[in-house]
Structure 1
Amino acid sequence: MSGQDSIEATGRQSASAEGAGNWQRLRRAFGLGASLLVGAGLVFAAGFGWFASHVSHLATPSDPQKADAIIVLTGGQSRLDAAMELLETGKGDRLLISGVHPSATRRQLQHALGGDKRLFACCVDLDRTALDTIGNAEESAKWVHNHAYSSVILVTNNYHMPRSLLEMGRLLGKAKLEPYPVVNTNLDNGGWLTKPEALRVLFTEYNKYLLALARGVLPLKPTPDGITLAEGAANPAR
């Protein structure tokens, strides 16, 4: 073999070895990526299982302790009925209904809820500004601060309670929150696994709960088009 042939053979061997090394590195990278995806999927699934089990075991307190006030987040008649019953039985001195549709009048709302008209007139406040759970927390925090309340009973559905407590807890300062979960469907003993609609609601709420947790780390801001970074993070000071 001539010297030139020897050089060319060596070059081919070197290129072949380099190509094999690149392929091995690529395979390892793909393997690592696949492992991370599988791991993340397992963590996500396990988290959902915990969330669904936790929510399904939340029960409505039979005799909650008295608080300064009551806050109910709109989203169902059963929530409103439960909040009014708490007010009527003296579990709180005043009630805030957060997230009332702007077109709903006080008379319409009182008629829908029934109960004591005088109690509704004197002791029920309406928040028409909040459009979502974050808005509920912001408007509720203003109300609690303005009245200097130190303890509040929070009324919402069981599946909505973890996220509501998370958002409220960030803004209500030292005010103590007493959860009052309203249960429309009994999902004990894994019943949510056999009810497609319940499974859908829980899965949707779980994803919203994860986003709420992420907002505690990243300054995420909900918009009509989805989730975006808040202005302060999108335009950092130079």
Structure 2
Amino acid sequence: MKSIAAFLVLALIWFAGLLAFATRVQQSTPAPYPEAAQGVVALTGANSNERIAAAMDLLQDGMAQRLLISGVNRDATREDIRNVSKPARRLYDCCVDLGFTAADTVGNARETADWARSMRFKNLIIVTADYHMPRAMLELRAVMREPQFQLQAYAVPTPALKARRWWRSPKSARLMVVEYCKYLAILGREAVLGLGPRDPAQGPSTADAAQQED
């Protein structure tokens, strides 16, 4: 009986956490317009076109000096990405960098950190999907622990998740539950790593690269 009671308590805590996570995701959009920064980063994923377009709008509005599109498909060309984002040629040629090394969120974080350090940028606007933003920010802060880094979240809405009863759609429910579980896994990893000394520049271990793409 004690084991059943313990399981029910854990299940209740997990479910309450899921509801809090879902509320956080739904309330993250529409995102308030960010303050100007040195760089803006678009993390590619399920709705890449919307993410890239939102980041490009920020660049065109003068909210950043340069844009990094992280996790670009290695088969894509600069012209392919330009056709998706549709910026002015002059702005695209001068101020947009493409990152081809990231294959998942861990890779996005490392690629973003390398780019920021190479550009000597300290202030970044991070653009990704609303459901992906909590985990993305955890991963970014895991590899950008230096206090000088300032990260602003600019979430792109996922229409299927804006419904009040998102759990009634199997697709929406699965997306929210899977992302919540991934988020918990990162929280657990950081809690364990926080128990011992850690090189601030090290970031997640190689084993963490097994995290799936959003």
Calculate the TM-score normalised by the size of structure 1. Answer: 0.77
Partners of 1:86 and 1:225 in 2: CA distance: 29
**Residues 70 and 83 in structure 1, CA contact (< 8 A), matched pair in contact too:** yes
Larger helix share, 1 or 2:
1
Q: Tell me the SS of whatever aligns to 1:178.
A: strand
Q: Is the 8 A contact 2:105 2:211 kept in 1?
A: no
Q: Secondary structure at the match of 2:31?
A: coil
Aligned-partner residue type, residue 195 of structure 1? S
Q: Give the counterpart of 1:203 among 159, 177, 189.
A: 177
- Give 1:52 deviation, angstroms: 0.7
Listed as ranges, the matches of 1:184-223 within 5 Å are 184-185=158-159, 187=161, 190-218=164-192, 221-222=207-208
- Match 1:179 to one of 149, 153, 169: 153
Report the Cα distance in structure 2 between the residues aligned to 1:225 and 1:65, rounded to whole angstroms.
31
**Mapping of residues 1-238 of structure 1, within 5 Å:** 31-75=1-45, 76=47, 77-172=49-144, 173-174=146-147, 175-185=149-159, 187=161, 190-218=164-192, 221-222=207-208
Shift of 1:104: 0.5
Confirm or deny: 8 A CA contact 1:74 1:99 kept in the other structure: yes
User: Is this contact kept in 2: 1:53–1:190, CA < 8 A?
Assistant: no
1:21-80 Cα offsets, whole Å, 9 max, x none, are xxxxxxxxxx22222111111111111111111111111335321111101100121001
TM-score, normalised with respect to structure 2: 0.85
User: Aligned partner of 1:87: which letter?
Assistant: L
How many pairs does the alignment contain?
Answer: 196
User: Which structure is higher in RCO with an 8 Å CA cutoff and minimum separation 6?
Assistant: 2
Residues 35 and 63, structure 2, Cα contact 8 Å, conserved in 1: yes
Deviation at 1:192, TM superposition (A): 1.5
C-alpha distance in 2 between matches for 1:111 and 1:137: 25
Is the contact between residue 59 and residue 183 of structure 1 (CA under 8 Å) also seen in structure 2? yes
Other-structure match for 2:201:
none
Identity of aligned residues (%): 35
User: Separation in 2 of the partners of 1:170 and 1:216?
Assistant: 8
CA distance in 2 between partners of 1:225 and 1:83 (Å): 24
- Contact 2:104–2:209 (8 Å) recurs in 1: no
Following TM superposition, by how much is the alpha carbon of 1:188 offset from its aligned partner in structure 2, in angstroms?
A: 5.0
- Specify the code of the residue in structure 2 equivalent to 1:198: S
How far did 1:215 drift?
Answer: 1.4
Partner letter of residue 210 of structure 1?
A: L
Structure 2: gaps of 5 or more residues: 194-204
The more displaced of 40-49 and 192-201 is 192-201
How far, CA to CA, are the matches of 1:225 and 1:110 in structure 2? 29
Query: For residues 180 and 225 of structure 1, do their structure 2 counterparts lie closer, same or farther at Cα, with a shift above 3 Å needed?
Result: closer
Structure of larger gyration radius: 1
Alignment-mate amino acid for residue 200 of structure 1: R
Equivalent pair of 2:130/2:155 in contact (CA under 8 Å): yes
